[in-house]
Amino acid sequence: MTQGTGHGENGDRDRSSEEAELSERLGSLDHRLSELRDRRIKTEQPAGDGGDGAARASAMALGFRLSSELIAGVAVGGGIGWGFDRLLSTSPFGFIVFLLLGFVAGVVNVVRTAGAGQNRRGGS
C-alpha cells in the first residue's frame, strides 16, 4: 500500500537504496573524471623539457612579431615618403619625414603590443 508513494517502511528502504546507488554512481563518475584529467595533463606536457620549450617558442613568436611590426612601420613609412618624393619632386625630404614617421609608428605598435602581453600575463 505504501510502496508507490514513498511513505512508510518500504518507501524509506527504496529511497535509501536509491540514494546509496546514486552515491555509488557519483563516486564512480568522480573517479573516472579524475583519471581522464590525469591522462590529459600527462599528454599535454611535452616529454623531457617540462614545458620550457613551449614557453621559449611563445617568447620567440612574440619577438618575431614585435620585430616585424617595427620593420613594417619603417618600410611603409619609407615607401610612402619615396612615393611623395617621386610625385612632388621633393627629393630627400618626403623620404626622410615619412621614414621617421614610420619609425615612430612602428615603435608605438611595438610598445602597445608588448604592453598588452604584459597585462595578459599579469592577470589584471
pLDDT tens digits, residue range 11-26? 677 888 889 999 999 9
Give the whole-number percent of the chain exceeding pLDDT 90: 41
User: What distance in Å separates the CA atoms of residue 121 and residue 123, rounded to the nearest whole number?
Assistant: 5
Where b means 16+ CB within 10 Å and e means fewer, 57-83 reads eeeeeeeeebeebbeebbebbbebbee
Cβ-Cβ contacts under 8 Å for 1 (sequence gap 6 or more): 8
pLDDT in tens, 54-97: 888 888 888 999 999 999 999 999 999 999 999 998 888 999 99
pLDDT value for 116: 73
In a domain, residue 48? The reply is no
In a domain, residue 71? The reply is yes
Number of structural domains in the chain: 1
In a domain, residue 92? The reply is yes
Domain of residue 68, residue span: 62-116
- The answer, yes or no, to whether residue 111 has pLDDT greater than 70, is yes
* Cell numbers given for 68: 616585424
What pTM, to 2 d.p., does this model score?
A: 0.51
